[in-house]
Amino acid sequence: MRIRLGTHPAYVVCHPTLVHQLLIADRSFDKGGPIYDKLREVAGNGVGTCPAAVHRRQRRLVQPAFHRDRMPGHAQVMGQEVAALTSSWQHGQILDVPDAMHRLTTAVVVRCLFDPDTDTPGVLALQSSIDAVVAGITRRMTWPLPLIHQLPTPANRRYARARLQVRHLTDGLISHLRSTGAGHDNLMSLLLAPDTDGAFLSDTEVHDQVVTFLVAGVGSTAITLSWAWHLIGTHPDIQTRLHAEADAVLAGRPAQLTDLNTLELTGRIVTETLRLYPPDSLLLTRTTSTDTELGGHPLPTGTTVAFSPYQLHRRADIYPDPDRFAPDRWKDIDKPPPGTWVPFGGGPRKCIADTFVRIQATLALATVAARWQLRPVPGQTIRPVGQTVRAPHRLAMRLHRRRPTPHGGETDSRA
């Protein structure tokens, strides 16, 4: 299918076999197109946006930051931040779910990236600037006409200031950590350390990785959690089973990494939420770096090729009753067929933080569900908003405090 992305022609691939071929052949189908052009304005050549020519080196240097050995510490941070977030919650309170999940995941990602125990100077200001940049990027992908974004509008000026602030604050944090050697228990310290061959990331490369992690890590987890709470709340049978599992496994304590294998339903809820509402849901693009072909169709160098995780995940020939929220469809699926479940892309360019996002979302859902029930507020129409990151718009839910029971009973504090 041939479409236009703003002023750019593009071909959309709709079959999972062809999408899989597109994703694994990263030397022929490089990350590019108008969407990645806009992301590079702020994320530079981070591991998620860099061209294939430098990707393997970057991934080798960055991968230790997301090794499974790091996950127990990240899980502990998540438990602490859930406790901090929910400490102010009141029974019967109406909660702005996307805002709450964004604050939660921001705190987790910032602490894991910089320092789990102290408030690193400039971190909160950096996250505020990142939020403004993400809003600007979304506008630019929605309206990919250069002239509009060159006008001196308030939104364009905010975006320009935020980009400069991100650069200034990130460079300051990098310089501070390089000079002090502080913060050995965080992802930043791993980015600044040499690999086994003695190679280092440059300051520019570290900057680009930090921005990539902040933009992708916060948004993906927050969106997944927000949609999960909406889906759970509108499916009482699933909600009852979720609370029962949280009670049986956790008995009121925060979830830990060692609980993942027993939080089976919670994990399936996350997987099904990512199927229905993948964070990068509308279109992901690649650009051909050489003359090639796909599905028998010749594609000259420089051709933009796109695919939609949202469309793939709702194919009835792959997922029966595809619009239905059915976590148990994953009960007997160990690994979906290639190209059929791609919320984080796939192949060599698969999102490096995919495991981080899935683990954090699973642990957060279980930890909150052990103490709280989130119920829909009547009269709402919930719809996705955004271009590449489709968050639920104005999702409000009512909080009900729960008392965990040893065998997963359903209790709350109502008289």
pLDDT of residue 266: 99
CATH topology of domain 2-401: Cytochrome p450 (1.10.630)
Residue with tokens 């029966």: 320
DSSP annotation string for 113-180: HT-SSS--TTHHHHHHHHHHHHHHHHHHHHS--TTGGGS--HHHHHHHHHHHHHHHHHHHHHHHHHHH
The pTM score is 0.89
Question: Which residues are annotated binding-site positions for heme?
Answer: 351
Handedness of CA 141, 24, 18, 213 (dihedral sign): negative
Q: Is 95 left (phi over 0), alpha (psi -120 to 50) or beta?
A: beta
Q: What is the pLDDT of residue 32?
A: 83
Please give the pLDDT value at position 281. Answer: 65
| The residue to which tokens 């990151």 are assigned | 389
CB 37 within 8 A of CB 176: no
Query: What is the reported pLDDT for 185?
Result: 65
Q: From first to last of the 415 residues of the chain, give the pLDDT tens digit.
A: 777 766 678 899 999 999 999 999 988 999 887 777 777 877 788 888 888 888 888 888 788 778 888 888 888 999 999 999 999 999 999 999 999 998 899 888 888 887 655 555 566 677 677 777 767 776 666 565 667 777 888 888 988 898 888 888 878 877 877 777 655 667 788 788 877 778 777 888 888 888 888 877 888 899 999 999 999 999 999 999 999 999 999 998 999 999 999 999 999 999 999 999 998 767 788 999 999 999 999 999 999 999 999 999 999 999 999 999 999 999 988 889 999 999 999 999 998 889 999 999 999 999 999 999 999 999 888 877 654 456 787 899 999 999 877 665 555 544 3
In this structure, what DSSP letter does residue 15 have? S
Residue showing tokens 């992901």: 284
Q: What is the pLDDT of residue 299?
A: 95
Q: CB neighbours of 200 closer than 8 A, spacing ≥ 6?
A: 61, 192, 193, 194
401 — phi, psi (to 5°)?
-70, 140
Output the six-digit token pair for 37.
């052009």
Q: What's the pLDDT score for residue 182?
A: 55
- The pLDDT value recorded for residue 377 is 95
Where helices occur in 181-256 by DSSP H, the ranges are: 187-192, 203-233, 236-250
Per-residue confidence (pLDDT) for residue 338, from 0 to 100: 94
304-307 and 292-294 beta bridge pairing: unpaired
Q: Which residues are annotated as a binding site?
A: 351
Residue written as tokens 């990130």? Answer: 170
Question: Which residue's entry shows tokens 């007997």?
Answer: 332
Domain ranges of the chain: 2-401
